[in-house]
């Protein structure tokens, strides 16, 4: 699992006036909103004696620990220690790690890492204006968990040959050999454009899709420093849809997927339930496969599986992850296995700027990676 990435930690609508706990990258976080409604993400562990902040309350725009009432503001600083009285000086070490947070596309993103602002990658632009100028757009959102490593889940999201085997409603058995495709690497994303049958003609979508649909274009982009995928599908111009999915490792063996589905056809509210139903049908079909993949993580060597050229998009992503691991961005989960005396945290930008005066220890990072045949 990589630090120094943007991760989707939840849907905006899930964080209201109570703190919300999220497990990601093997760590616990708390999301809450301040008095202006701005979302914040802090390490969940109170530095007093380990209370879980997400079990507390939001009071005056700060999150209050349920154990002895210490309050932390959005920047992670402790602003009140009730047992010391109102005029007491708050110790400098009374702070928790706070992670840069952005809300976009109906999602709450947090940058889990310690890079200063000018070194952080930008968030992906999922809905650029030129794609959204045709008609009115309707969005639906949801989430799903898979029992597999996040890299496995992303590889599945761009797999061009699984649809006819896994998905009952799309994928054309006459096109089991994928058409040639190119993958462009622009440094922060891997972009693949091709042609395929975009969606099924079942139910209320039947009249939205032309009969020559095999010739429709689609494009799939994986964003690397904000693990997510954007799928564009052009139906009958100007009818299109975009599916964007954020992938967040819960731990090494579980992945949370959050999706937004955007469509510019059948935009009445009454079609939302049908759209969600289609998304969950597809995701449940993927889940049946992903929950039982072996190994749950991607094996260390490419030669540990028998990969084909049609797997190239996912394999290129796999190699990008290996590069980031080699740069020292990977958490060493096995080095912390069985540790029950320390609560560790992913280092935040404030910790890098001022490395002393923190109570909790940082997670252990992998110094070097397995050799691989990239
Ligand atoms: S453990 Fe949080 S206030 Fe004591
Ligand atoms: Fe799938």
* Helix (DSSP H) and strand (DSSP E) numbers for the chain: 6, 20
Q: Which residue has the higher pLDDT, 339 or 175?
A: 339
- The third-level CATH classification (topology) of the domain covering 129-320 is Naphthalene 1,2-dioxygenase Alpha Subunit; Chain A, domain 1 (3.90.380)
Distance CA 192, CA 185 (A): 9
pLDDT at site 55 = 98
CA of 340 to the centre of ligand 2 (A): 38
Residues in contact with ligand 1 by the CB-under-6-Å rule are: 46, 48-51, 65, 67-70
Does pLDDT of 369 surpass 90?
no
- Establish whether the linkage from the previous residue to 337 is cis, with ω within 30° of 0: no
Point out the least confidently predicted range of 188-197, 354-363, 364-373.
364-373
Q: What is the pLDDT of residues 8-53, one digit of tens each?
A: 999 999 999 999 999 999 999 999 999 999 999 999 999 999 999 9
Pick the atom of ligand 1 nearest to 46's CA: 2
CA of 17 to the centre of ligand 1 (A): 21
Q: What is the pLDDT of residues 63-77, one digit of tens each?
A: 999 999 999 999 999
Q: Which residue has the higher pLDDT, 199 or 273?
A: 273
pLDDT at site 123 = 95
Q: What is the pLDDT of residues 139-186, one digit of tens each?
A: 999 999 999 999 999 999 999 889 889 988 776 676 678 778 889 999
Pick the atom of ligand 1 nearest to 69's CA: 3
Phi, psi of 58 (to 5 degrees): -100, 120
Pick the atom of ligand 1 nearest to 68's CA: 3
Domain boundaries, the chain: 1-123+331-374, 129-320
Average pLDDT over residues 238-251: 94
Q: Which of 49, 64, 360 to mutate to test the pocket of ligand 1 (most atoms within 8 A of CB)?
A: 49
pLDDT at site 373 = 43
Which single residue is written with the structure tokens 């079609």?
271
Q: Of the bound ligands, which one is closest to the alpha carbon of residue 63? A: 1
Q: Which residue has the higher pLDDT, 39 or 133?
A: 39
pLDDT at site 211 = 67
Q: Give the closest residue (by CA) to ligand 1 atom 3.
A: 68
pLDDT at site 181 = 85
Q: Give the closest residue (by CA) to ligand 1 atom 4.
A: 68
Average pLDDT over residues 92-113: 97
pLDDT at site 368 = 59
pLDDT at site 131 = 80
Does pLDDT of 308 surpass 70?
yes
Q: What is the pLDDT of residues 187-242, one digit of tens each?
A: 999 999 877 665 566 778 777 776 665 566 778 999 999 999 999 887 777 888 89
Average pLDDT over residues 125-140: 87
Q: Of the bound ligands, which one is closest to the alpha carbon of residue 159? A: 2
Q: What is the CATH number of domain 1-123+331-374?
A: 2.102.10.10
Residue 62 and residue 81 in contact, taking contact as beta carbons nearer than 8 Å: no
pLDDT at site 374 = 40
Distance CA 235, CA 167 (A): 19
Helix (H, G, I), strand (E, B) or coil at 164: helix
Q: Which of 19, 43, 44, 48 to mutate to test the pocket of ligand 1 (most atoms within 8 A of CB)?
A: 48
């Amino acid at each position: 699992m990589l630090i120094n990435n943007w991760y989707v930690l939840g849907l905006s609508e899930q964080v209201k006036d109570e703190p919300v706990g999220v497990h990601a990258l093997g760590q616990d976080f708390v999301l809450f909103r301040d008095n202006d409604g701005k979302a914040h993400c802090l390490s969940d562990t109170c530095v007093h004696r380990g209370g879980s902040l997400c079990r507390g309350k939001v009071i005056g725009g700060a999150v209050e620990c349920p154990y002895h009432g210490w309050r932390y503001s959005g920047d992670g600083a402790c602003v009140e220690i009730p047992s010391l009285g109102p005029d007491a000086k708050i110790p400098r070490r009374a702070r928790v790690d706070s992670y840069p947070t952005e809300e976009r596309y109906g999602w709450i993103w947090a940058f889990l890492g310690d890079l200063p602002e000018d070194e952080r990658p930008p968030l992906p632009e999922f809905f650029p204006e030129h794609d959204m100028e045709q008609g009115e757009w309707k969005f639906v959102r949801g989430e799903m968990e898979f029992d597999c490593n996040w890299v496995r889940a992303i590889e599945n999201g761009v797999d061009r040959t699984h649809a006819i085997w896994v998905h009952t409603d799309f994928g054309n058995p006459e096109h089991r050999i994928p058409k040639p495709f190119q993958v462009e690497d622009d440094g922060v994303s891997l972009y693949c454009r091709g042609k395929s049958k975009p969606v099924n003609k079942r139910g209320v979508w039947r009249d939205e899709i032309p009969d020559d649909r095999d010739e429709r274009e689609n494009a799939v982009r994986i964003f690397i420093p904000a693990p997510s995928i954007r799928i564009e599908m052009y139906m009958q111009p100007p009818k299109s849809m975009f599916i964007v999915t954020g992938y967040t490792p819960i731990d090494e063996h579980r992945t949370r997927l959050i999706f937004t589905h955007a469509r510019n056809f059948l935009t009445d509210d009454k079609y939302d339930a049908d759209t969600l139903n289609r998304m969950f049908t597809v995701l449940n079909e993927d889940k049946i496969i992903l929950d039982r993949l072996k190994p749950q993580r991607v094996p260390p060597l490419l030669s540990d599986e028998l990969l084909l050229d049609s797997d190239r998009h996912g394999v290129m992503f796999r190699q990008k992850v290996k590069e980031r691991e080699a740069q020292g961005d990977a958490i060493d989960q096995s080095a912390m296995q069985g540790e029950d005396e320390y609560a560790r945290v992913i280092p935040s930008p404030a910790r890098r700027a001022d490395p002393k005066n923190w109570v909790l220890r940082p997670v252990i990072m992998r110094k070097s990676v397995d050799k691989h045949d990239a």
